[in-house]
Amino acid sequence: MSTLPIKLRLRFYGDASLRRKAKPVAKVTEKEMAILAEMAQIMRLAGGVGLAAPQVGINRQIIVIDIGEGPRVFINPKIFKRLGCDTKEEGCLSLPGVFLSVKRAKKITVTALNEKNEAVTLSADNLLARVIQHEMDHLKGKLLVDHANIFKKIELKRKLRALLKHKKEVL
């Protein structure tokens, strides 16, 4: 992995970078490698299973996932096959303390570039499929809370307001 010095930090609910549509990566270079290395470290330290570049303020289609099988990289990911559906509770490193049941495809087939700039195709199911779909939402500026129905939104209101207040105190 590259050692280009890039200092990234985790962004939380209310941060504008979480709402931007991420741009595709033209080519995986040393810069992307450095971003990936830092993202993997931030994810590990935060105890997450996935992290998308907008969550560290980078407006690029870059995702790192580790569900306990070692880190996987997805750059410019595209889902071209979805099978079945499954509803399970999810959390998000950018929304600490928020948990929400989300309906997702149970099995997906995804194409992406890996860290070597090679196009790869992967079929994933269950947790891995769920995490890929969650992280791909981030690339569209979509957050976990956007999946909440009206009742859950009311329930989450106070928690989200507290997150926004906390963010103002940090800035």
38 is catalytic: no
Q: How far is the CB of 132 from Ni ion (least distance, A)?
A: 12
Q: How far is the CB of 79 from Ni ion (least distance, A)?
A: 17
153 DSSP β-pair partners: none
Q: Which is nearer to Ni ion, 63 or 92 (CB)?
A: 92
Instruction: Please give the DSSP secondary-structure letter assigned to residue 85.
Output: E
Q: Which of 35, 17, 40, 16 is nearest to 25 (CA)?
A: 35
For 91, other C-beta atoms within 10 Å of its C-beta total 15
- Report the alpha-carbon distance of residue 53 to residue 126 in Å, rounded: 23
- Report the alpha-carbon distance of residue 123 to residue 15 in Å, rounded: 32
Which is the catalytic residue, given 32, 38, 90, 135?
A: 135
Q: Which is nearer to Ni ion, 30 or 146 (CB)?
A: 146
Q: Which is nearer to Ni ion, 25 or 52 (CB)?
A: 52
**In Å, what is the CA distance from 155 to each residue of 103, 127, 133, 151, 158?**
19, 26, 24, 6, 7
Chain position whose Cβ is nearest to Ni ion? 92
Q: Which is nearer to Ni ion, 107 or 142 (CB)?
A: 142
Rg value, the chain, Cα = 16
* Residues that bind Ni ion in the complex, under the rule CB under 5 A: 92
Q: How far is the CB of 28 from Ni ion (least distance, A)?
A: 22
For 97, other C-beta atoms within 10 Å of its C-beta total 10
Q: How far is the CB of 134 from Ni ion (least distance, A)?
A: 6
Residues serving a catalytic function are 135
